[in-house]
Chain A
Amino acid sequence: MDATSGENASAALLSMTGIDKSYPGVQALLGANLCLRRGEVLGLLGENGAGKSTLMKVLGGAVRPDGGSIEIDALRVTFSSPAEAAAAGIATIHQELSLVPTLSARENIFLSRRGWVRRAEEVEQTRKLLAMLGSHIDPETPCRELSVAENQVVEIAGALRERARILVMDEPTAALSVREVERLFTVIRDLQRAGMGIIYISHRLEEIFQIADRVTVLRDGENVGDYRVADITRTALIEAMVGRTLEDEFPPRNTRIGDVRLKIRDLNRGNAVRDVNVDVAAGEVLAVTGLVGSGRTEMARLIFGADLRDSGTIELDGKILRHRSPRGAIANGICLLTEDRKAEGLVLGHSMRENFGLPNLSAWSRWGMIGRSAEKSALASHIAQLRLPAGGSERPASQLSGGNQQKLILAKWLERHCEVIIFDEPTRGIDVGARYQIYELICALAKAGKVIIMISSELPEVLGMANRVLVMRGGSIVGAVSDVEHSSEEEIMQLAFSEAAGTGVQ
C-alpha cells in the first residue's frame, strides 16, 4: 500500500457506465453509473431490489452485464468470473462471511494462493497484514473461534494480500456491536488514507453520514442521485431512495396504556440471562436494547421456550405459564419473530401458504386432515390486510423481499391470535419504505392491547417507537427509560456501556 499523493486522490479509480442487466421479467439495472475515486468511501444506497447487489455482482464478476462498460484506472475491463475480478483488484466483504470456519486466519488469508505452503513466511505476512489493520489476532486461531468483527478483519487482510484496490462492503456492520463498528470505521479510514477506494452499502443511514464522502442512490435499477454527504440531509436521502416525500419516520405512539399483562420474575439461564424482571402492560411497546451479546435475544428465547430457563416465572394475565418448548409457548399465546428470518423464521424453499400454515394447522384440521378452504381463506384475508403480494401464495418464501418476509411471519402469528408478540430486530435488512409499514403494524397491535416486546439495536427506532426502554448488559437489565420522548441516544448508550448503571429491577 503506497501513500497516495494529493493529485492522484481525485482521479477516478473505477467508473461503471451505463450498466444494464435484465433477468426474466425484471429489469435489474438500467444504465446504472458509478464512479469511485482513489481514497474515497462511496455510500451506495437504495431500497431492497433497487439494484445495489446486482451492480456489485457485476463489479465482482459474478454476474455478466447485458451492456455498459467498466473502467479501472481508465482501462476498460471485462470480467467473466469472480477470479478475474479479484485479479483486477476488486474484493468484496459480504454480509455473510465467506471464510472457512475450521481453517485458521492464516490459512484463510492464503486460501487462494497456489503451490506449496510456506508456513513461516505466511505467518509473518499474516501478522503484518493484521497489524496494519490494528488487530493482534493469533494467525493460527481457527476462524470459528473469532468474533464476527475479527472475521471481518481477517477477510479484509485477505483482500489486502491480494492487493485489492477496490473494496466492496455489503452491510458490514449488521452483526457488530457499537464498539466494533467504531473499530471497523477506524480500519476503513486507514485504508482510505492508503488510497483504496471503498464502496459501502448499508441500510443504516447514520453510518453513511459517519463514514462516507459521497453517496450514490439507486432506485429501480437507475441512478437517482449522487450527493456529497456534507450537502445532504437524512430526510432528503430517504426521499431520494423511496421516491416520495416522507412525513414521519415513525407512526404516532399509542398513549392509552392498560394494566400489566405479562410479568416475568427472576428469569435465569447460565450467564446469558441473569435475574431478569420485566413487566409489560397492555397497549405499550416495550423496547429492549443493548449491545450484541447483552442477553436481549437470549431473554426472548427463554420467554418463548426456545431455550430452557434455569429458573424464573412467566405470568400472563395472572396465569403462570409452564411451557418448556416453542410449541408450548405458542399454545400459551406467545410468539417470537426471530432476528434471523432466513435461518429461523421461514422455511425459505416452501411457499407462502405452507409457511403461513405451519403453526396454525391444528386450527384448520380435523383428525389431522387439513381443511384446505379454511387455510386458503385465512391466508387471503391476511394477504389483503398486510398488503402482501396477492396471488403469490404458492411462490416460495425465498422470493419475497425482506419486508414481505417479515409481514408473512407476522401473518402466521396473527392468525394464531398470539397475545405476547416479541419482535427481535423487526426491521433488520428491511428497506425504508417497508419499515414504516412494519412500524404501523407494531403500533396497531399495541393499540389492540397485545403485549409487545421489541428488541432492537437501532437507537432511532427504539426512541421513535417505544413507550418504555429497557437496557441490557451482560445478561441483566441495567437500566430503564420511561420518558422516552425526552431521552436521547446518548442516554441509552450511557446505560448500555456504563459499569454501575441502574439495578436489575425497573
Chain B
Amino acid sequence: MKHTLSRLAADYSMFFVLLLLCLFFSLMTIDAQHPTGSEAAEDVANEIIATQGRQASVLIVAGKSREDIAFANTLARRLEASGATVLESTGSSPSQVRQNLEALADAESPLSAIACTEAISKWSVVSGAAGKYPTFGPLAVIKPQSYLFPDFLKAGNLKNVAGQSAVFAIIAIGMTLVIITAGIDLSVGSLVALSAVSATLLIRDCFGGASAGPGGMLAGAVGAIALCGLVGLLSGVMVTVFGMPPFIVTLATMSIARGLAQIFSRGQSIYQVPESFSWLATGNLLGVPNEVVVMVVLYLFAHFVMTRTTLGRWVYAVGGNREAARLSGVPVLGVLLLVYVLSGALAGVGGVMEASRLQSGSPLYGNMYELYVITAVVVGGTSLAGGEGKIFGTLIGALTIAVIRNGMNLMNIESYTQGVVMGVLILAAVLIDAGKRKGYGRRVWGSLFAFSRAR
C-alpha cells in the first residue's frame, strides 16, 4: 500500500491536474441543492417545533414520488411524536390542496403552518394561502432549507464518474501494455460491442434468456471475453508472425469485430437478459459499486505484474528496444502475442460491464472508445514511443477523462464542443509526451523558428 502511494506521488503532476479539474468542475457546478426525503423531513420538523411550538397544527403537502412520500411520512411521525397536529394531504394536486384548505377554513380548524417540498412551495395555492384564507391567522409555509453545493461532488454523481471510468480504465490496462511495447490497439472499441453482443446473445440463446441463473450469466461473460481474446490473438499473430504494423492490423480487426457484432445481433439490440445481469453495475460491496471493485482489483494485479514480475520487465524491454531485448534472451514474439491477447480480453471485460450497465447488448456500443482509452493512456504518461509507462498513471488518465466528460455534461456543454475538447486534450497529452523525451520539443520549436526565419 505504501508502495502504491509512492507510485501515485511519482505521477504527482497528472494527479495534481486531476485534482485541479475536480476543483474546477466543483466550482463551476455549484448550485442550490434541495434536500428531499426523510432527511429533509427531520429538518422541517425541527424548524416547525422551534418556531411554532408543540401546539402547531400543520398541513403536509407532498407529491407522489417515493422521496416525497418518505418526506411526508417521516414528517408526520416526527410532528405527532412531539404533540403537533398533522393534517396530511399526501399525493395532492394544486386543486386538491385548494379543496383541503377551503374545507379546513370552513370548519374553522386551526392551521398554523403548511409544510411542503421545495417544488410545491412555489404553487400559488400554497404561497398565496396566507392572504386567501385569513381565518387561519398567521400562516407559515415551511419547506426544507436549500443550500449551495457542487452538483459534481454529490455522492450520486461521484459514483457515476467512478462507474463511467471503470469501463475505460479496465480497457486501458490492456492498451497500456500494448503501447508500452510500442504498439497500438485500435480494435478495443469494436471489441466492446462484440463482447456485449456475444455475452447477451449467449445468455439469451444458450443459458435461458431472462431466467438465466448466475452460472449461465458467468458462462456468457466468459465466452464473450474469450472471443475477444481470440480477436486479440489474431491481431497478435499478424503483428508478430507476419511482422505487420500494429496500427494497420488493429484497424482491420476493429472493422472485423464491429462487423461480427452486427452479424451476430442482426443489427438489433439484445435485451433478453435477467434483471440480475445488472449486478456488476448496480450492486455494491460495502457501498463501493461492483464495477469499481473489479477495476481496482484488476489495477492492483496489473501493477504487480508490471513492477514485480519477469513478464512485466519483458514488456518494458520489448518496447524499449526490441532487438536488444531479443538478443538478451527475451521471448519477444511471445510477449507481443500475450499483450495483444490481454488487450482483446480486457476489452471483452469492458464490453460485459457495458452490457451490464445498460442491461442489453448492441452492436453500436463502444463507439470511439479506442479514442478515449488511448487518450487515457497517453494522459497517464505512457510514451507512445514505447518502453515506459505506469499502470497507475493510466488509472489517473482514465479518471481524468471520465471527470472531464462528466463535468462537461453537468455544465451542459453540448456534445459537439465536447469532441473538440477531447481532441485538444489528446494533442496536449502527446505534446507533453514529446516534450518529456529529451529536447524533442525544443527541437521542434527550434526548427519551426529557423524555418520561418529562412523564409
Contact with B along A336-357 (1 / 0, CB 8 A): 1010000111111110001001
* Nearest chain B CB to A327 CB, angstrom units: 4
Tell me whether A347 and B320 are in contact (CB under 8 A): yes
B446 at the interface (CB under 8 A from A): yes
Q: What residues on A are CB-neighbors of B320 within 8 Å?
A: 347-350
Residues of B within 8 A of A362 (CB): 310
Per-position binary interface string of chain B over residues 305-326, scored 1 when its CB falls under 8 Å from any chain A CB and 0 otherwise? 0001111011011001101111
In the complex, are the beta carbons of A358 and B449 less than 8 A apart?
no
**B257 in the interface, Cβ–Cβ < 8 Å?**
no
The CA of A330 and the CA of B455, in the complex, are separated in Å by 56
What's the Cα separation between A359 and B329 when bound, in Å?
6
0 or 1 for each of B26-69: is its CB under 8 Å from A? (1 = yes): 00000000000000000000000000000000000000000000
* Bound-complex Cα distance A362 to B446 (A): 46
Assess A346 versus B321: contact at CB under 8 Å? Given A114-B454, A326-B329: yes
Q: Which residues of A contact B6 (CB under 8 A)?
A: none
Residue of A nearest to B328 (CB): A358
In the complex with contacts A354-B313, A369-B308, A349-B450 CB distance below 8 A: no
- A375's nearest neighbour on chain B, judged by CB, is B313
Whole-angstrom distance from the CB of A396 to the nearest CB of chain B? Answer: 10
Contacts of A370 in B (CB 8 A): 308-310, 313
Question: Which chain B residue has the least Cβ–Cβ distance from A336?
Answer: B327
User: Of B323, B331, B446, which one neighbours A343 at CB under 8 angstroms?
Assistant: B323
Per the bound structure, the CA–CA distance linking A369 and B308 in Å amounts to: 6
Told that A83-B450, A347-B316 touch, could you supply 11 new A-B pairs with CB distance under 8 A?
A81-B446, A304-B327, A306-B327, A326-B326, A326-B327, A326-B328, A330-B329, A349-B320, A358-B325, A359-B328, A361-B313
In this assembly, does A25 line the interface, its C-beta being within 8 Å of a C-beta of chain B?
Answer: no
Q: Report the Cα distance A245→B446, complex, angstroms.
A: 44
Report yes or no: B308 in contact with A350, Cβ–Cβ below 8 A. no
Task: Tell me, yes or no, whether B101 is within 8 Å of chain A by CB.
Answer: no
A–B complex contacts, Cβ < 8 Å, 14 sampled: A81-B446, A306-B326, A325-B326, A343-B321, A344-B324, A346-B321, A349-B387, A349-B388, A350-B317, A354-B316, A358-B328, A365-B309, A369-B309, A370-B308
Find chain A residues with CB under 8 A from B387 CB.
347, 349-350
A347 touches B317 (CB 8 A): yes
The smallest C-beta distance from B338 to any residue of chain A, in angstroms, reads 12
Shortest beta-carbon distance, A31 to chain B, in Å? 26
Listed residue (B324, B449, B455) with the most chain A CB atoms within 10 angstroms of its CB: B324
Contact A347 B327 (CB under 8 A): no
Q: A304 to B323, alpha carbons, bound, how many Å?
A: 14
Complex interface: chain B residues within 8 A of A345 (CB): 324, 327
Contact string against A for B residues 322-357, beta-carbon threshold 8 Å, 1 for contact and 0 otherwise: 011111111100000000000000000000000000
Q: Which of A306, A327, A354, A369 contacts B331 (CB 8 A)?
A: A327
Distance from B241 Cβ to chain A, minimum over Cβ atoms (Å): 15
Give A59-100 interface residues, CB cut-off 8 Å to B.
81-83
Interface residues as binary, B414-442 with A (CB distance below 8 Å gives 1, 0 otherwise): 00000000000000000000000000000
Contacts of A83 in B (CB 8 A): 450, 453-454
> A residues within 8 A CB of B313?
354, 357-358, 361, 370
Residue from B308, B320, B326, B327 whose CB has the most chain A CB atoms within 10 Å: B327
A348 CA to B320 CA, complexed, in Å: 7
Point out which of B309, B311, B328, B387 has the most chain A C-beta atoms below 10 A from its C-beta: B328
Q: In terms of DSSP, what is the predominant structure of the interface of chain B?
A: helix
Say yes or no: is A412 at the interface (Cβ < 8 Å to chain B): yes
CA distance A95 to B199 in the complex (A): 57
CA distance A336 to B320 in the complex (A): 19
Given the contacts A357-B313, A362-B310, A347 and B450 also touching, CB distance less than 8 Å: no
A474 CB to closest chain B CB (Å) equals: 25
CB atoms of B310 and A412 under 8 A apart: no
Partner of B311, one of A325, A331, A348, A368: A368
Cβ contact within 8 Å between A412 and B328: yes
Q: A111 CB to closest chain B CB, in angstroms?
A: 13
Task: Report the separation of the CA atoms of residues A83 and B447 in the bound assembly, to the nearest whole angstrom.
Answer: 9
Complex Cα gap A348–B316 (Å): 12
Within 8 A of B (CB), among A400-426: 412
Residues in A whose Cβ lies below 8 Å from that of B455: 114
Report the 9 A-B pairs with minimum CB-CB distance, sorted nearest first: A347-B320, A358-B328, A330-B329, A347-B321, A361-B310, A81-B450, A327-B329, A359-B329, A83-B450
Docked complex Cα distance between A347 and B311 (Å): 16
- From known contacts A370-B308, A370-B309, infer whether A344 and B327 are also in contact, taking CB-CB under 8 Å: yes
Instruction: Report A355-384 CB contacts with B as 1/0, cut-off 8 Å.
Output: 001110110010011101000000000000
Tell me the smallest distance from the CB of A371 to a CB of chain B, in Å.
Answer: 10
Residue of B nearest to A364 (CB): B310
| Residues of A close to B330: CB separation below 8 A | 327, 358
B316 contact set on A, CB distance < 8 A: 347, 350, 354
Q: A330–B446 Cα gap in the complex (Å)?
A: 45
**Which B residues lie within 8 Å of A412 (CB)?**
328
Give Cα A326–Cα B328 distance, bound, in whole angstroms. Answer: 7
Query: How far does the alpha carbon of A306 sit from the alpha carbon of B330 in the complex, in Å?
Result: 12
A114 contacts which chain B residues (CB < 8 A)? Answer: 454-455
User: A365 contacts B388, CB within 8 Å?
Assistant: no
Report yes or no: B329 in contact with A347, Cβ–Cβ below 8 A.
Answer: no
* Bound Cα distance A330, B327 (Å): 9
User: A327–B310 Cα gap in the complex (Å)?
Assistant: 14
Name the residue among B313, B326, B388 with the largest chain A CB count within 10 angstroms: B313
Contact with B along A314-331 (1 / 0, CB 8 A): 000000000001110011
Contact: B317 with A358, CB < 8 Å?
yes
**Bound complex: CA A326 to CA B449 (Å):** 46
Q: Which residues of B contact A359 (CB under 8 A)?
A: 328-329
Docked complex Cα distance between A497 and B313 (Å) = 46
Query: A368 contacts B324, CB within 8 Å?
Result: no
Bound-complex Cα distance A234 to B454 (A): 45
For B331, what are the chain A residues with a Cβ–Cβ distance below 8 Å? 327
B residues near A349, Cβ cutoff 8 Å:
320, 387-388
Q: Give CA–CA (A346, B327) in the complex, Å.
A: 9
Chain B positions 135-183 with a Cβ under 8 Å from a chain A Cβ: none
Tell me the bound Cα distance from A412 to B308 in angstroms: 19
Q: Known: A81-B450, A347-B321, A347-B387. Is A338-B327 also a contact (CB below 8 A)?
A: yes
By a CB distance below 8 angstroms, the chain B residues around A326 are 326-329
How far is it, in angstroms, between the C-alpha of A361 and the C-alpha of B313 when the chains are bound?
9
With a CB–CB cut-off of 8 A, which chain A residues contact B328?
Answer: 326, 330, 358-359, 412
- A338 and B324 alpha carbons, distance in the complex (Å): 9
A365 to B, closest residue via Cβ: B310
In whole Å, how far is B177's beta carbon from the nearest beta carbon of chain A? 15
Q: Please, how many angstroms separate the alpha-carbon atoms of A344 and B332 in the complex?
A: 14
Given contacts A326-B327, A350-B317, contact A368 B309 (CB under 8 A): yes
Separation of A114 and B453 alpha carbons in the complex (Å): 13
